[in-house]
Amino acid sequence: MALLTPQGVKEVFQFQKPQGRQHLRRLLNWEEFDELRDARQSILLDTLYDSVIFAVGKGFPWVEVVQVVKFTEELLKETKGCSITEAVTILGKKLRDYQKQFNVTHLLALCDYSHNTFIRHYRLYQYVLSQDQEVNLTVAHEQICAPPQPLPLTDGTDRDVWRHEQQVAELSTAEVEKHANVLMLKETLRMEQAQMLQKAFGVEEAPGQLQPHPTLRKEALERLVSEAIHIQIACLQELLQYEIQAAFDILDLRLQKKTLSLSAPPPPLPCITTGPAALEDSPKASKANKGKKAKAKK
């Protein structure tokens, strides 16, 4: 406390809060501590720093600001472990002890400040400053990767042009997918048709082997041919329906692409040079210069 002088508290007030707190710690002759691990000391330092801000804000002279810090520190120490009734009694006694240090207005302001901060939240102060707290602190070092360097703006694409290109690309992708789906369906139907034909021939050949009569063989053959034709027609019908629908979808996609190409945004205009050199190269400027030269000769 011997280092806490009027000039010292003035410097504390003039600094930003982080620097002001550290300067106040040095003036109080406290050793440096870890703000995270020693939360009690950090809160106590905050309380004393707030008392400096309060006193300066109320217009206390710098000499009295020192006394306010001293008053606050003594009050916190003397009320440690006391009941709230005892704390109020101690506060009144200390105000009487310090009444010669302040005028009536400043003493009343200090009394109100102590009641509105310390007494009002007395249990919280006692819980934090009087009881030992178990601190579980985990420190993890994370590596933060910086974002990549952006490309120069001159290599960029106009927003409307980029959106148009994206829409065209989406339509082209959808068209390719339609063609691929048709090919996949053809292959799937071919495999299903082969399996169905094998199943039909397999079912009909077994009875034919057991009954080798010419009439039965002819009837079985007719049924096989009829069933094979039915299977092929069914597969072909499904394929044609899908191909027709896919053709309509592809035509619709191409129509959309054509519409987009007609409404494509214009490319950005190149920079037009309007300097003296450009004016001299223009036809009108050359004619005007020739006219001036002719008048000068006359």
In-domain check, residue 21? yes
* Confidence bin at 150 (pLDDT 50/70/90): confident
DSSP-derived letter for residue 118 is: I
- Which of 68-72, 230-234, 258-262 has the highest mean predicted lDDT (pLDDT)? 68-72
**Which tokens is 103 given?**
């005028």
Q: Of 110, 130, 150, which residue sits at a domain end? A: 130
| Range in 61-65, 100-104, 199-203, 284-288 the model is least confident about | 284-288
Arithmetic mean of pLDDT, 263-278: 61
In-domain check, residue 289? no
Residue scoring higher pLDDT (160 or 133): 160
* Confidence bin at 205 (pLDDT 50/70/90): very low
Q: Assess whether 17 and 107 both reside in one domain.
A: yes
Q: Assess whether 163 and 125 both reside in one domain.
A: no
In-domain check, residue 117? yes
In-domain check, residue 249? yes
pLDDT at 204: 45
Nearest to 71 by CA among 117, 124, 22: 117
- Check pLDDT > 50 for residue 207: no
Q: Assess whether 46 and 112 both reside in one domain.
A: yes
Q: Assess whether 107 and 55 both reside in one domain.
A: yes
Residue 48 is part of which domain span?
Answer: 6-130
Q: Is 32 helix (H, G, I), strand (E, B) or coil?
A: coil
What is the per-residue DSSP string for 251-285? HHHHHHHHHHHHTPPPPPPPPPP-SHHHHHHSHHH
Q: Assess whether 117 and 191 both reside in one domain.
A: no
In-domain check, residue 23? yes
**Cβ contact 48:125 at 8 Å:** no
pLDDT at 292: 54
In-domain check, residue 80? yes
Mean per-residue pLDDT over the chain, rounded:
81
Q: Assess whether 200 and 260 both reside in one domain.
A: yes
In-domain check, residue 113? yes
**Cβ contact 79:90 at 8 Å:** yes
Arithmetic mean of pLDDT, 101-112: 92
Q: Assess whether 17 and 117 both reside in one domain.
A: yes
pLDDT at 85: 92
Arithmetic mean of pLDDT, 15-19: 92
Q: Assess whether 15 and 63 both reside in one domain.
A: yes
Model-level pTM greater than 0.85?
no
Nearest to 50 by CA among 117, 105, 96, 98: 117
Q: Assess whether 106 and 185 both reside in one domain.
A: no
| Exposed / middle / buried, residue 153 (Cβ in 10 Å: 0-12, 13-18, 19+) | exposed
Q: What percent of the chain has pLDDT over 70?
A: 82
Q: Assess whether 107 and 164 both reside in one domain.
A: no
In-domain check, residue 274? no
Please state the domain count of the chain. 2
Q: What pLDDT digit, counting tens, does each position of 159-194 carry?
A: 888 888 888 889 889 889 888 888 888 888 888 878
